[in-house]
């Protein structure tokens, strides 16, 4: 008898999402509204992460994934990119160390290749400083592309198949999922986008298969723990059917 087709992993039906993913959009518009350069919007945005991570821990969310820099964002002006790259160091020295002491475990999602050496060093430092405590797993998508992530997984799986390490019938959804950056992280339950755009922008394409989507016009630097709680309240009222009735 042939093997059953594996079910799509079904996330969590708890009213509190286990995994929240956020497209942190709107930094540029936030700055523009104030007559400031876009870079100031990114600075204000970086300072918001701490409160949101803490709110997740207060509420009992176990995984928070934030989109900080996409592979497509390399199209932006040099000065803007430089500011974003430098903000990784600010995040590490000022924000991450505090969060780590509160039990936040950091994961990087994305391609290290192509990042400046200074950013690679920051990523190394953060990974080295991680402790065993995992009140919240905070994944930061940086130099990330959902399609690239899937291509990378396909290559890893193909390489295993080519050397006979896996049989074709054993390449299941679960097996492919283990070759993504998020191998130890469950699927997304709640997908939030700030800044009002109704699009995915190449974020976590595989992992959001059955995520609930929540979009707010609030710009990321204005996104507070209270707004997050509203999103979670709305999530709790949704009926997730996962294709059933």
The residue among 145 and 157 lying less far from ligand IPE, judged by its C-beta, is 145
Among the options 12, 73, 89, 111, which is catalytic?
Answer: 73
| Active-site residue flag, 130 | no
Interacting partner of 197 out of Mg ion, ligand IPE, none (Cβ under 5 to 8 A depending on kind)? ligand IPE
Contacts with 94 (C-beta within 8 Å, 6 or more apart), sequence order? none
Q: Does 146 bind ligand IPE (CB under 6 A)?
A: no
x/- contact string, 10-49, with Mg ion (CB under 5 A)? Answer: ---------------x------------------------
Residues 27-66 that bind ligand IPE (CB under 6 A): 27-29
Q: Please, which residue, 83 or 157, has the CB nearer to ligand IPE?
A: 83
187 binds, among ligand IPE, Mg ion, none (CB under 5 to 8 A by kind): none
Give the C-alpha separation, 112 to 118, whole Å. Answer: 11
Catalytic residue positions, numbered: 25, 73
Binding region for ligand IPE (CB under 6 A): 23-29, 67-70, 73, 84, 195, 197, 199, 201
């Amino acid at each position: 008898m042939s093997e059953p087709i594996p079910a799509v992993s079904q996330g969590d039906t708890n009213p509190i999402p286990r995994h929240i993913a956020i497209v942190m959009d709107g930094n540029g518009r936030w700055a523009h509204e104030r007559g400031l350069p876009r870079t100031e919007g990114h600075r204000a945005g970086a300072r918001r992460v701490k409160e949101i991570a803490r709110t997740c821990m207060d509420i009992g969310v176990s995984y928070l994934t934030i989109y900080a820099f996409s592979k497509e964002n390399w199209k932006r002006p040099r000065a803007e990119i430089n500011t974003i790259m430098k903000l990784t160091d600010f995040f590490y020295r000022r924000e991450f160390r505090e969060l780590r002491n509160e039990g936040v475990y950091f994961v990087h999602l994305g391609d290290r290749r192509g990042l400046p050496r200074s950013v690679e060093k920051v990523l190394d430092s953060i990974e080295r400083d991680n402790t065993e405590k995992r009140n919240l797993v905070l994944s930061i998508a940086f130099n990330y592309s959902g399609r690239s992530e899937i291509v990378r997984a396909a290559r890893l799986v193909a390489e295993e198949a080519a050397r006979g390490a896996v049989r074709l019938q054993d390449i299941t959804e679960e097996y492919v999922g283990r070759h993504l950056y998020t191998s130890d992280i469950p699927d997304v339950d709640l997908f939030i986008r700030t800044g009002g755009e109704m699009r995915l922008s190449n974020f976590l394409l595989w992992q959001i298969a059955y995520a609930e989507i929540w979009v707010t016009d609030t710009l990321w630097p204005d996104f507070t723990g209270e707004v997050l709680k509203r999103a979670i309240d709305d999530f709790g009222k949704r009926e997730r059917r996962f294709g059933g009735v």
